[in-house]
Structure 1
Amino acid sequence: MQTISIVQKQNNIGSVQFLPVNLFASVMGISGLSLAWRQASKLFGSSPVIADCIGIVAVLMFIALSIGYLSKWMLYPQKVADEFVHPILGNFFGTIPISILLLSSIVGIYSEIAGQTLWIIGTATTLVLSYVFVSRLLKGNQELGNAVPAWLIPVVASLDVGVAGGTMPFPWAHEINLLCLAIGGIAALVFFTLILARLIHQAPLPAGLTPSLLILIGPFEVGFLSYTNFTQRIDQFASLLFYFGLFLFIVLFFKVFKKSVPFGVSWWGVSFPMAALSNAAIKYALFVHSWLLVAIAAIILTLLSIVLIVLFIRTLNILFNGKLLKG
């Protein structure tokens, strides 16, 4: 009877075959929140323990999702293959190397070797996926309607290499960071233009994809972090990246956060762009020493924290009521 009860409970929760790869965006968001609170300890004097606790949650989430998705891959390989070749969903595989890269920064605080190992794994995976996705697009016959913000995720992954490894001690790390900055920067410019053209000239995104609009700020804020980590300075070009990303966030905020947009896993698409903006705002405020920028950094960090708490609770809710893992 106990075995039957366990099986029934598993059936109520759902099947791992329906575990969406875009749920790894949650690890990106939580990791970004941990890094933001780590920087906040320098700007606001908050306790580093907050960042530590959030970082632990991010690591545990990544382990749980990795086990779940590997199980899906072994038990339902065709489901994973279909997801990978999908013109929109396939781009979310870029959330996996980004998660690894961000976790390398979190873990690296406690173990340099572990952090460096994760960075190498994340960098190698990022370069492979960048090649695969760009090659796929260059096959031609792409529908302009598929030019959605998710196209930017593999591009942002390239930029995240420099965010996590801008100061790696390896003699070859400088050129790898430069390579990834070049790939991410130029590809982001091209893809952003294509996506903007689609958003202007074609029908609005479906409600389920609306939260992904915030991904559009990713290349600018992640680009700011990657560029400043690589050059070890904040110059006028970096300032332009930060301010345009901030402007775009304000424009898109009121288009995304509406009651008419239903909740789903796709909402995690707002988490990392907001986390990148928060990290960039704090870093810029530490550089400029302006009360206005300090206030902006505080508002964005508070907003990010609230949004991620709500997303975390609502995701657990749809997991245990059986909606998350049901076909």
Structure 2
Amino acid sequence: MHSSVKPLAEIVRNFTPNWFAATMGTGALALVLDQLPLAVVGLHAVAVSLWLLNIGLFALFGLLYATRWILFFDEARRIFQHPVMSMFFGTIPMGLATIVNGFLAFGVHLIGEQAIGIAHGLWWLDATMSVACGVAIPYFMFTRQEHSMEKLTAVWLLPIVACEVAAASAGLLAPHLATSEALLVLVLGYVLWAFSVPLAMTMLVLLILRLVLHKLPERDMGVSAWLALGPIGTGALGLLVLGGDAPAVFAANGHAGIGDVAFGLGVIGGIVFWGYGAWWLALAILKTVRYLREGLPFNLGWWGFTFPLAVYTLATLALHRATGLALFSVTAGLLTICLTVFWIIVATRTFNGARTTALFSAPCLENSRWPARFEADVV
């Protein structure tokens, strides 16, 4: 007799990288709450708690996914042929980036200056993983996978956007480093930004064409409407934080004029991206309302409600700090309320889905026979 709850071996066998989207959303919410210009009692403690929870989730997910590759290697590697699930490899470095940023925001107060060294080391790992995703997954799209314009969704952005998330982290890390190392990280931050943002913007053009020609995607991909906000929000945030570092870092290395130009470009570029993001945000809201009327089935893709909105909110907060305009502070407050509500809903439903093991299902294993050595564990 088969139980409705999957045994541990089957959970491992069906564990996929889209679970790391939960670490992206949780970590990003922690960073947003920490940066709100509000003196709310307990808000910082909530942010720290979310960040610590995020570390635990990332470690657990990393253990489960590594175990899958060890025990079920032949099945695990099928992901590189899957045209949707393979895109979620980008969620791993992006989830790690929220931990890196948390060490800079919270770690120094918790464990002292060694938090900077941890963040520095993890940033290099994150940047390396991001570049690998940004090159390898598109290459597999070109050589192994089957794609068509009709099936194009914003999920294509996930492996690409990881590099610009690492770029924004570089902007947060650079001020904490020695002069020459700060310049290297800052310059690499701009390189990572350029490695990602232009390509992501071209994909958004294709996405508009696909939506015009083939209309909205199926309901199970409905939340992907929010993913377009990710590269726009992170692109704005990257320009703002890198530009904010640039005057001091370049001046310390004898290039003061370059830093002043970078600061101005960061503010203007951030505003332009923010305006572009407002259009995509409005479209995401309209499309979501339509999907909700038709019935929007829950899946791990619902975490797409959180991280893209969070990075857009972080960019909004950065624009407020740069300009002092109430437009950005009020908007950031409203976005944070929406983000928090989204996180509570999605986290609750994800917990229930994990508790019942219903969410542990790998699409790349459909019609695949259970390995003989584990069959006894299922009965």
Report the TM-score when normalising by structure 1.
Answer: 0.90
1:185 is matched with: 197
Residue 282 of structure 1 aligns with an amino acid whose one-letter code is L
1:282 counterpart SS class: helix
Verify the 8 A CA contact 1:95 1:153 in the aligned structure 2. yes
Q: Who wins on radius of gyration, i.e. which is larger?
A: 2
1:216 is matched with: 228
2:346 is matched with: 311
Verify the 8 A CA contact 1:16 1:71 in the aligned structure 2. yes
2:366 is matched with: none
Residue deviations 1:224-267 (CA, integer Å, cap 9, x gap): 01111111144222101012212311221131252511111111
Offset, 1:218? 1.1
Verify the 8 A CA contact 1:24 1:95 in the aligned structure 2. yes
2:44 is matched with: 48
Offset, 1:164? 0.7
2:273 is matched with: 241
Residue 128 of structure 1 aligns with an amino acid whose one-letter code is A
Residue 44 of structure 1 aligns with an amino acid whose one-letter code is L
Matched, 1:58 2:54: yes
Residue 27 of structure 2 aligns with an amino acid whose one-letter code is S
2:242 is matched with: 230
Residue 189 of structure 2 aligns with an amino acid whose one-letter code is N
User: Which of structure 1's runs of 4+ aligned residues deviate more than 6 A?
Assistant: none
**Unpaired runs of at least 5, structure 2:** 108-114, 245-262, 363-379
1:87 counterpart SS class: coil
1:147 is matched with: 152
> Do the aligned partners of residues 315 and 14 (structure 1) sit closer, same or farther apart at CA in structure 2, a change above 3 Å counting?
farther
How many residue pairs align between the two structures?
319
Residue 169 of structure 2 aligns with an amino acid whose one-letter code is A
**Unpaired runs of at least 5, structure 1:** 1-6
Alignment of 1:15-54 (within 5 A): 15-40=11-36, 43-46=37-40, 47-54=43-50
Matched, 1:284 2:319: yes
Offset, 1:96? 0.3
How far, CA to CA, are the matches of 1:173 and 1:181 in structure 2? 12
1:256 is matched with: 288
> Do the aligned partners of residues 277 and 8 (structure 1) sit closer, same or farther apart at CA in structure 2, a change above 3 Å counting?
closer
Offset, 1:17? 1.3
Taking only aligned residues, the RMSD between alpha carbons, in angstroms, comes to 2.2
How far, CA to CA, are the matches of 1:53 and 1:150 in structure 2? 29
Offset, 1:155? 1.7
Residue deviations 1:113-154 (CA, integer Å, cap 9, x gap): 111111110001111111112333444974223421011112
How far, CA to CA, are the matches of 2:75 and 2:208 in structure 1? 31
Alignment of 1:76-95 (within 5 A): 76-95=72-91
Residue 293 of structure 1 aligns with an amino acid whose one-letter code is F
Offset, 1:13? 10
Residue 269 of structure 1 aligns with an amino acid whose one-letter code is G
How far, CA to CA, are the matches of 2:46 and 2:361 in structure 1? 34
Matched, 1:269 2:304: yes
Matched, 1:132 2:128: no
Offset, 1:176? 1.7
Offset, 1:203? 4.2
Verify the 8 A CA contact 1:29 1:268 in the aligned structure 2. yes
Among all aligned residue pairs of Structure 1 and Structure 2, give the percentage whose two residues are the same amino acid: 19
Verify the 8 A CA contact 2:83 2:141 in the aligned structure 1. no
Verify the 8 A CA contact 1:158 1:181 in the aligned structure 2. yes
1:123 to 127, 145, 153: 127
Report the TM-score when normalising by structure 2.
Answer: 0.79
Offset, 1:8? 9.3
2:117 is matched with: 113
2:99 to 97, 103, 107: 103
2:217 is matched with: 205
